[in-house]
Amino acid sequence: MPTKLSLSSSVYPYEDVTALLDTATKDMEVGQLIQIPSFSLFDAMCAIVIMDPKMDTGMVMDDIVSRPVFNINMRVTPTEFIWIFDNILIGQMTWLSGHALSQTLFTSCHILRLLEINEYDDDEEPSGPTKDAPQPPREFLVAVLKSCVLAIAKSCSLIWSEMRKGQVYEEEDFMTNKFGVSMFEDIPTASLVAMLDQAEYWMETEGTQWIRDHCGDDAGEILKGVMERIDYCRSSYMALFQVIAPKCSLYPQAGPQLEAMRTHISGLKATHALGTKVEGAFDHTIHRQLVANTPPRAIALLTFDETIEQLAQMCTDLMSIGKALSFTDTANLVNFFILFGSQKPAPGAFPRSILQTVLYEDRIVMGSRKVEDVVRESIQETVSPVSWIFDNFDVLQAKLGGAGNTTPASESQLLESIPELAEDDISSYKLRIQTNVVMFVEKATKPFVDTLQIMGQNTSRQRRNLRKIVQLWETLQEQAEVFDADVHAVLEELRIQQLGPTGDEDGALEQPAAPFYFVSWVYHLKLWVMEWLLFLGSELELYSPFEYSMVYAYVDSVLGAHSQHLQRIKSIIESEVLEPEPVVPIGPIPTKETHEESGIKETSEQKKKKKKKKKTSASSTTTTTSTTTEKVIEYAKPKKTILMWLYLTSVKMQLTRGVFLVLASLTKAGHLTTTPPHIASHGLNDLETLFAHRFRAFRLLSSPEALTFEIFLSRVDCDGLDSIAILDYATDYFSEAQRALDQLLLLSAAEAQVLLCEDAWRKDIKNMIKVCIASKIGIAGLQKDARILELRKSTLEAQKRKAAASSPGPKLTTAQIRSSSSSSSKASAPVLKAPVRKVVFEWKYHSWWPVVTLAPPSS
């Protein structure tokens, strides 16, 4: 129960044990300690050093005692109201940005002692500088200020009830401790609205008149300032009320309120300067009286401008969540979550919590769709399974127990019930598959929802929790294999039933490879989670420069596996003979072939080498290169979701590989190292250990095949190419990526499936384009570096020497190039004389890919 603050007397009886302790400790030597084993670090840090003014927050300080108590019933002028209001707002937003109520909102005397504001008690004298000025009517205090303060307090209480759900992290994201202080939960919303109405009515009549009579030239502005604040209070309270209503029942109505709130926020900003300070209205020592065991820490309140900025951002975020409620399909929803979670600056803790609440409540997604439907749709969009496997989905799912009360018993019951449902053998086979599908979808809801939920967490937590999410998908993948095997078995029986047991030659040829629907879907999402996890390491600045090449090689290999996988899904879908379905076309997947025709000047020799290289070091991802020009009229078409994923994943891989190749070339030239002396200086770490440590979350996964340390080393070597040649490849990758990204920008929001987050999506694409452009410019500079040129010379000389020595003819075979170059680079790195330069990593374009350059040579 909320207790009223009693500042003066303690109700607890106490006994002074100082003397007792003094006697008892006489026998102890200095340095002896009596300690209960359970006395933890936490206890130690919370311990109070009684009567030490720094460490005993409960100690009543003389200056606090002697200070006059703020007169809560002191009348306020309209401009004083503006000042008080704005500072309370600062307190609210500072609280929302993660600080304690005791140091923010509760520093306002009007918040803490609101109910002491007395309507009829009108006998006190004005004080201070206002003495000579005309007394403002009491209504500015008792009608206007009181109702507005109440509105803010109650808004905060709504926010508090959301934050108590524990979707964001206590202390880290937010502090919910109310210190037992009431936020007027028991005053009904209707009363608040009535009070605000009354304030507004009074303002429109007498208030306006008074301001006109007494405020001179500023009257118009002051009037506006007061009215804006009343209006802001009403719309912000109503908006929050609707946003927070259970099961999103009122969220759709919140849109207009949030819009209004945002308009009033600019009104607040425009009139803020009119405020007049009220001495004593905020007590920044209140923390001492509310909390006993922790010293107050220096906190910086937000400035008013920051307050306004964050408020407006909060409105925008809540509005975008509101719009997402009416999502058309899962692909758009998933994209919305991805882009919401990667906004910069990150959304505040409150919208992040709302996002998670709205996503999933009582097995309902976004307040309207059954979670099973959403998962089913995701599977359909991704792997386009034969359509009948989802027939009867709703019926079977209802049988299975609908609202999530799946038990093994109900599953087996369901299976038993099949014969009665079935009309003939075929449909009974189909029914068995359909039942499996229902059960699989049920199993998949947790990983699916949990993954989206992560977007509502702070980025540090995202990364830490994604490691667990990878495991969830891994486990589901194992289960998916069983389901797929079952599906295959039944499909096979179906085929035999239809075609007879002896498949004739033609039939055997036509029979496509059985599609692994479930595994494919799961594996796709698992790979995506892995990529995201690795990129977050960059975003959170966890990697040191010497680790970058290892990290980007690893990300490259995961992205490679991913685009290969997506390509495979696409091919399988295309191989299925089905009635065609109209699909919005998007440009062809960027291919290696197209980039070779690009305007980059290459000698034929370079091209030859390039081909060679693609087969070796770039091997894991060659499948992205398949052409897409074949006619697919009579075949099923993959849904655009899978095409978009394939497209974007390929682009990310090109960017990643571009970055990796730049790093590799700088490593070769000795500007960068993967083994700085310090990592081994104390015999503690080496790169291989770090490699194992950094990627340990993936080491035990069944797939994809992990990049090993040895393969990483050979990748860095790049087949013995010299830095300039490696940089040429890097340029190609950046050009390719840029071209593909330019194509993406041509898509409409509907085509790109970003209807709910188009702006953020375009911005992200543009940022990637900037990385490409800046990298290409950077590379041009790198290719003039003295060391890199020197390396080229010595590599060419070594090759010539090798060629002259070993081959009789003038023609070089690729095998020879390969053997000569790799041996030269492995065995004896050439000694370069040109100076080593400092490597510069520029993250300003995108937090996932740096632009890598060299600092000007120090002369």
Partner 1 sequence: MPPKSKTKSKPKAKSGGPSAATTTTTTTTTTTATAPSDSTTTESSHGSSTNTPATKTKTETTSSSSSSTVPSMATPLPPIDYVGYESEHQLQGMMSLIENDLSEPYSIYTYRYFLHQWPKLSFLAMDREKGTCIGVIVCRLEPHGHSARNRGYIAMLAVSKEYRKRKIGSTLVLMAIEAMKSAGADEIVLETEYTNQSAIALYQQMGFIKDKRLYRYYLNGVDAFRLKLLCKPELLALDLAPVNA
Helix or strand holding residue 222 (H, E): helix 219-244
In whole angstroms, the minimum distance from the beta carbon of 849 to partner 1 comes to 18
In whole angstroms, the minimum distance from the beta carbon of 97 to partner 1 comes to 8
Q: In 3-state terms, what secondary structure has residue 387?
A: helix
Query: Is residue 666 a contact partner of residue 839, using CB atoms and an 8 Å limit?
Result: yes
Q: With respect to partner 1, which residue has the nearer C-beta, 555 or 839?
A: 839
Query: Is residue 634 a contact partner of residue 508, using CB atoms and an 8 Å limit?
Result: no
Amino acid at 454: I
Q: With respect to partner 1, which residue has the nearer C-beta, 212 or 838?
A: 838
Q: In 3-state terms, what secondary structure has residue 388?
A: helix
Q: With respect to partner 1, which residue has the nearer C-beta, 147 or 458?
A: 458
In whole angstroms, the minimum distance from the beta carbon of 597 to partner 1 comes to 37
Q: With respect to partner 1, which residue has the nearer C-beta, 541 or 579?
A: 541
The secondary structure of residue 71, as a DSSP letter, is -
In whole angstroms, the minimum distance from the beta carbon of 299 to partner 1 comes to 7
Q: Measured between alpha carbons, how far is 821 from 826 in angstroms, rounded to an integer? A: 8
Q: In 3-state terms, what secondary structure has residue 608?
A: helix
What tokens does 77 get?
């002028």
In whole angstroms, the minimum distance from the beta carbon of 40 to partner 1 comes to 8
In whole angstroms, the minimum distance from the beta carbon of 35 to partner 1 comes to 6
CB proximity list for 8: less than 8 A, separation 6 or greater: none
Facing residues of 361 across strands? 364
In whole angstroms, the minimum distance from the beta carbon of 25 to partner 1 comes to 11
Q: With respect to partner 1, which residue has the nearer C-beta, 346 or 514?
A: 346
In whole angstroms, the minimum distance from the beta carbon of 133 to partner 1 comes to 41
In whole angstroms, the minimum distance from the beta carbon of 105 to partner 1 comes to 15
Q: With respect to partner 1, which residue has the nearer C-beta, 450 or 758?
A: 450
Q: How many CA atoms lie within 13 A of 306 on its CB side?
A: 15
Q: With respect to partner 1, which residue has the nearer C-beta, 494 or 697?
A: 697
Q: With respect to partner 1, which residue has the nearer C-beta, 273 or 542?
A: 542
Q: With respect to partner 1, which residue has the nearer C-beta, 564 or 824?
A: 824
- Give the relative orientation of helices 709-717 and 814-827 as an angle to the nearest 10 degrees: 110
Residue 100: count other Cβ atoms within 10 Å of its Cβ. 23
In whole angstroms, the minimum distance from the beta carbon of 705 to partner 1 comes to 16
Q: With respect to partner 1, which residue has the nearer C-beta, 169 or 635?
A: 169
Query: What does the H/E/C string look like for 739-796?
Result: HHHHHHHHCCHHHHCCCCCHHHHHHHHHHHHHHHHHHHHHHHHHCCCHHHHHHHHHHH
Q: With respect to partner 1, which residue has the nearer C-beta, 460 or 816?
A: 460
Q: With respect to partner 1, which residue has the nearer C-beta, 299 or 578?
A: 299
In whole angstroms, the minimum distance from the beta carbon of 543 to partner 1 comes to 7
Q: With respect to partner 1, which residue has the nearer C-beta, 65 or 827?
A: 827
Torsion sign, CA atoms 252, 258, 259, 260: positive
Q: Measured between alpha carbons, how far is 127 from 148 in angstroms, rounded to an integer? A: 23
In whole angstroms, the minimum distance from the beta carbon of 667 to partner 1 comes to 9
Q: Measured between alpha carbons, how far is 338 from 374 in angstroms, rounded to an integer? A: 16
Q: In 3-state terms, what secondary structure has residue 852?
A: strand
Q: With respect to partner 1, which residue has the nearer C-beta, 56 or 218?
A: 56
Residue 343: count other Cβ atoms within 10 Å of its Cβ. 18
- The vertex-675 CA angle with 670 and 681, nearest 5°, equals 130
Closest CA to 203 of 233, 245, 166, 180: 233
In whole angstroms, the minimum distance from the beta carbon of 344 to partner 1 comes to 15
In Å, how far are 86, 606, 818 from 800, measured between CA atoms?
77, 16, 13
Q: With respect to partner 1, which residue has the nearer C-beta, 30 or 805?
A: 30
- Give the relative orientation of helices 146-163 and 189-202 as an angle to the nearest 10 degrees: 150
The secondary structure of residue 117, as a DSSP letter, is -
- Extract long-range pairs of 397-406: CB within 8 Å, 24+ residues apart: 397/372, 397/438, 397/441, 397/442, 400/438, 400/439, 400/442, 403/362, 403/363, 404/363, 406/439, 406/442
Query: Is residue 825 a contact partner of residue 720, using CB atoms and an 8 Å limit?
Result: yes
In whole angstroms, the minimum distance from the beta carbon of 172 to partner 1 comes to 5
Closest CA to 169 of 41, 448, 356: 356
In whole angstroms, the minimum distance from the beta carbon of 845 to partner 1 comes to 21
